[in-house]
Structure 1
């Protein structure tokens, strides 16, 4: 079949038929992507060509091998994703410089140029879906089938992880299964002075994978903006951009660099392939990118140059329905067994500490924070709101990030042994402006619920914070009977408190395992029994970010692993709890 602006893509058509007949369940995001593809089919300015995708499939199955050297039988999902990349084209009219036949001088002529439509593809899919192998096939195609000289990179949170994309290519070179690879690998790499015909053309070197026929190179680069900007890449793959603690948008960096590359015909058909499973690190650069992808899928703004295949379960209820698991991994039963998924579900039920990781990696359900210390259920806020008007309480303060963020918690001992919690947190205007869009969206929720107060200026004024906090709890007639504080950066605040309220009940809580270990254990037991009654989202957010470092003797202390991952409300609650224990008689 030749170019057509009305044809339905072959492999997408088969996939759509399976979906329409109910044989393949899909989630909302895949449905939205299908609507976008249907819009391309209906668009007379976009053309479908089946020859490139058939050539890609033929190349993979005849020439390539898997990492262990076994033959390649391309998965239906691989054909569907690759068709999105290689199947769609459009035409532009552009002035191109054309030299005269005699070689002297030239002139500009207007030419109609065929360009590949898809420049970026995002693939968010569960673990064990062979996504790194798919990325390897794409890189191999650009390295050995595209005749121009290409510079290609692959990147991941670690260099060893990025090497998973190069590994199948090295195996294919060693096996040389097809006639084309036999030609590319024929000869000796040590032949540097004799005939070039007797020299190996495709080799694995210290630089990466090199095609000496075209001068093309595929190399590994660290996942850092400094190492990736200005590369002029033709093909780039980014692996696990959601899984690690990534704070830089390397996709945008590579796109800006790749857009500069342009050959003599005026064409710059670069490709950026971003693949990852869902992660447990929230509110970073990855979540900001996902917000943009959702806008594209909802067609809030059009970006026909981006392909998005986002696999996940639609709800937590589907975790217990094996028939729905294929929504998160379309290669289930081919690259990973149902038994493996069933074992993870059983493990998740018996060991809540691994729940978030399994939900994210196996089912694509994003969860808040690491929750290494507090499990997912423990971080859920209570639905019933209570104000604790006029009740006795213990106050805890954490001003260790006092230059831009500080927290206070009011801990209310209740007759049934539970503890009510209300928090008051302060942030400077400058800090709010510097937040990532995804994290800013989260902070806006806290501002709306009244638990986060934005103070004017670039840094927080401790006295202004004191006065605002004092007005807050006097208005609600909280009976503050003791005050626990972290001494770091708290001198002015504590001096003002002591002047106005007297020295009784003021307790200094020094950070460290000696002070924190026992209270953390007791708070953990209370949270397991759902006896910590909080109804504010910022407290849930902080508990979800809590990581506790434990030594060989089992002693624990709070660990602030990431500057953006605020745990200050939990630290303030712990200070209030310690002050309550020391002054328990004041509550009798």
Structure 2
């Protein structure tokens, strides 16, 4: 006999197919989960710390009730896999922590193995720590469960069940017999290895559940994009899969991302866990910076962005075009970005001051290929050479000795404290400059080295604390820059993704790092003497 399903729970063509296949909706099972949250779980952070966990409307209506209310004809859960995508700060990890504890203690599975999984140990700790805190706050759960923080396990001796946090860094995950796998921030997974390992870990269980919850990513080749697209197709009904649970809350790409109505539509916890005034401030800041716009739209509106993103706003850059201060004899830091011998190379000096950072750039190209480079790079190399913004080395290749001589000349004019250089392309020149008495700093080009100074440079531009005197070559490069971002929102200028040459900006980022590190080590006073230890 077919059990009627309330119309409010039939929301897609796949729900209709499920009913045709004998699925039904058990409201008492769904209410059991809500009651568990309310009676036994308490929040441990922020303004709700110590208060009972009352599911928000979207958490109940759109996730918990359908996940646990829908049943197959045999009474087991309808959904076996699922994908939940919502913006940051909507309570994803807290919800997952509560679900982990319910599945551990109340899902009727003897010897259950519950796993929360993430890309790395730090991310894996977030859900686990929240679940452990919930146990500590609940006398009932604390009397029943043993929390082992050192190994990130929670043990239920009564049912011989265990909850454990896993990360992609754990050496082996073979042989798991999972009742439930809850994957946090799927977009951060660098490969699909962990997902594929855990995908069939519950094959021998009666009603296994594998659930991913994440913010939008950018990598269209990732496991997260694969699941995102699959969820979209299930929601649209173009894919028939009655066992897959999809939920996506995001702004549409054509929406005006600066409008409050778009913010609230994309964020189901808007005004509750998300402060509207702070959100508006973040949006205003994002409008000043293409890179921050990219992050805002991805993390706060859940829009899938491209890996590369425009970076510097040229209007803001041009506003920093005031004349330089008197720099002769002043302390400065250098970034040297050497191209191949047939392309443009750049040296940028950064002079840290009390209020402003002055920037003095120098460029070199081979003279014989300048016209060819004008066509290739869409830049007026010949006029720049004539106006002495670029030094042209005779012949088809740059004479590194010419660069070395120029740096030594500059060392006589200014106090060049350090020179940052990527040794990968400049080992010989770096060694020679070291012999000349300069302190050479080897500077990597990855996120670890480049992210902080890249963000700092943007901060200086937006605050008009940079002076570059309108150098046209550096301006051209500033307009070319695209940045790459990783899953942790680290940034770096991307030569691969940028439209044209950006060597001067890369050199500027490296020099900015040395200069700002110097400022952090010293206190600046107005008294004579300038910098004091």
Rounded Cα–Cα distance in structure 2 between residues aligned with 1:514 and 1:213: 57
Q: 1:523 to 1:413 in 2, by over 3 A?
A: closer
Distance of 2:313 and 2:226 partners within structure 1: 22
2:207 corresponds to:
269
User: Would the aligned equivalents of 1:282 and 1:367 in 2 still touch at CA under 8 Å?
Assistant: no
**Whole-Å Cα distance in 1 between the matches of residues 300 and 99 of structure 2?**
24
Show the 5 A alignment for 1:73-222.
Answer: 73-80=54-61, 81-91=63-73, 113-147=74-108, 148-176=110-138, 181=140, 185-186=142-143, 201-205=144-148, 206-207=150-151, 208-222=153-167
1:453-509 CA distance string (max 9 Å, x none): xxxxxxxxxxxxxxxxxxxxxxxxxxxx98679x9xxxxxxxxxxxxxxxxxxxx97
How far off is 1:299 after superposition?
Answer: 3.3
Q: RMSD across aligned C-alpha pairs, in angstroms?
A: 4.3
What is aligned with 2:376?
Answer: 410
CA distance in 1, matches of 2:266, 2:92: 13
Contact residue 477 and residue 504 of structure 2 kept, 8 A: no
| Alpha-carbon distance change, 173 to 272 in structure 1, aligned in 2, over 3 angstroms | same
Q: 1:246-261, aligned counterparts within 5 Å? A: 246-259=190-203, 261=204
- Tell me by how many angstroms 1:298 deviates: 3.6
Count of residue correspondences: 373
Q: Normalising by the residue count of structure 1, what TM-score does the alignment of the two structures yield? A: 0.55
SS at match of 2:377: strand
Give the TM-score normalised by structure 2. 0.60
**Cross-structure match for 1:288:** 226
Pairing 1:545–2:484 present: yes
**1:256 Cα offset (Å):** 1.7
SS of the aligned residue for 1:221 comes to: strand
Change (3 A) 1:574 1:129: closer
Match of 1:69 among 50, 55, 64: 50
- Which consecutive residues of structure 2, in runs of 5 or more, have no partner in the other structure? 316-340, 345-372, 385-393, 401-423, 431-440, 451-467, 507-533
- Unaligned 5+ residue runs, structure 1? 14-33, 92-112, 187-200, 263-267, 379-393, 398-407, 419-480, 488-507, 533-539, 548-557, 561-565, 579-588
Alignment of 1:381-460 (within 5 A): 410-413=376-379
Deviation at 1:134, TM superposition (A): 1.0
**In 2: Cα distance, 1:417 partner to 1:89 partner:** 74
Matched, 1:374 2:311: yes
* 2: CA distance, partners of 1:40 / 1:304: 7
CA contact (8 A) 2:121 2:169 kept: no
Shift of 1:174: 2.5
Q: Aligned in 2, Cα 1:53/1:569: closer, same or farther, shift over 3 Å?
A: closer
Task: Report the Cα distance in structure 1 between the residues aligned to 2:342 and 2:234, rounded to whole angstroms.
Answer: 46
- Structure 1 pair 376/117, CA: closer, same or farther in 2 (3 Å)? farther
